[in-house]
């Protein structure tokens, strides 16, 4: 089965598929980040053979136990064409195991270049067809309109960078616009405009770091998923998630990669790590329910 053949325009909307997957498997988004340091820590060579063993072994475990997995494209691209072929196998392996695939590519451009990125990842017949991708709006949210529209018509989704967890982001993302909103809030509001008619929630999500200050953003009208990096190795706890996003964490996908992957290469240890995190996220007392 090719990655491109598994999602078509006749499919359910991405938001609906994601809601079903989260209801069945919980909200954890497991990152597949074959960082050279992690590959070495697994006792593998930092070459394509090591990349393949690391990525596919991790995918087999994580995709069988989580609603959504998030391969970081850059770590595969670093190995050239052979690395991209491994990425294609990761996408297929994850989907065969029943997980949705959020490909972390952070693409953002204008005109024909953005159209080419759209064709590569989210259009019908895309070469590396993920269920959703991350995109950057910092050439203007309007530059993403064709990508968003194409993804939705193909049963796919996008997650737009809004308020990221890196310290350098605040200077740009918390800058004030003439109407008083922050840049990040304007991005959230633009994403929300695509989700008005969707249930249980829409196909356009946002990326909001789990380490930001509570109250920075109003997500109440988003009606879409929120990818929350910063959980785990970057220091955010379930209590932090609750403070930032509110009780119950509706629509929030806490993302964790290193906190899980450091337990490899033995697959039983990876399984235990995923299960421990899933139990914490499912604990009503931890989630404030």
Known catalytic membership, residue 70: no
pLDDT at 288 over 70: no
pLDDT band at 236 (very low <50, low <70, confident <90, very high): confident
* Total count of domains within the chain: 1
pLDDT at 3 over 50: no
101-116 per-position pLDDT tens digit: 999 999 999 999 999 9
Q: Catalytic residue among 89, 106, 258, 262, which?
A: 106
CATH number at residue 271: 3.20.20.70
Q: Check the CA dihedral 186-190-193-194 and report its sign.
A: negative
pLDDT at 264 over 90: yes
161-196 per-position pLDDT tens digit: 999 988 899 999 999 999 999 999 999 999 999 999
Asked whether the beta carbons of 28 and 231 are under 8 A apart, the reply is no
Residue 146 lies in domain: 3-287
């Amino acid at each position: 089965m090719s990655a491109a053949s598994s999602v078509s325009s006749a499919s359910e909307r991405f938001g609906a598929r994601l809601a079903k997957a989260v209801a069945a498997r919980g909200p954890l988004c497991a990152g597949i980040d074959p960082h050279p340091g992690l590959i070495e820590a697994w006792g593998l060579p930092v070459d394509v053979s090591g990349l393949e063993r690391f990525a596919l072994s991790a995918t087999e475990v994580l995709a069988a136990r989580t609603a959504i997995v998030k391969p970081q494209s850059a770590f595969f691209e670093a190995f050239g064409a052979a690395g991209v072929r491994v990425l294609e196998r990761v996408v297929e392996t994850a989907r065969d195991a029943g997980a949705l695939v959020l490909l972390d590519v952070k693409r953002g451009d204008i005109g024909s270049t953005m159209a080419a990125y759209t064709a590569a990842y989210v259009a019908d017949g895309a070469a590396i067809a993920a269920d959703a991708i991350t995109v950057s709006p910092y050439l203007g949210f309007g530059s993403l309109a064709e990508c968003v529209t194409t993804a939705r018509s193909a049963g796919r989704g996008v997650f737009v960078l809004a308020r990221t967890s890196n310290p350098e982001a605040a200077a740009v993302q918390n800058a004030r616009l003439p109407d008083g909103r922050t840049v990040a809030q304007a991005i959230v509001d633009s994403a929300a405009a695509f989700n008005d008619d969707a249930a249980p929630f829409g196909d356009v999500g946002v990326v909001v770091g789990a380490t930001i200050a509570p109250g920075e953003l109003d997500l109440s009208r988003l009606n879409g998923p929120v990818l929350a990096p910063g959980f785990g190795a970057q220091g955010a706890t379930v209590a932090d998630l609750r403070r930032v996003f509110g009780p119950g964490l509706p629509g929030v996908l806490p993302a964790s990669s290193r906190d899980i992957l450091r337990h490899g290469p033995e697959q039983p240890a990876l399984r235990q790590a995923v299960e421990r995190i899933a139990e914490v996220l499912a604990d009503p007392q931890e989630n404030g329910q």
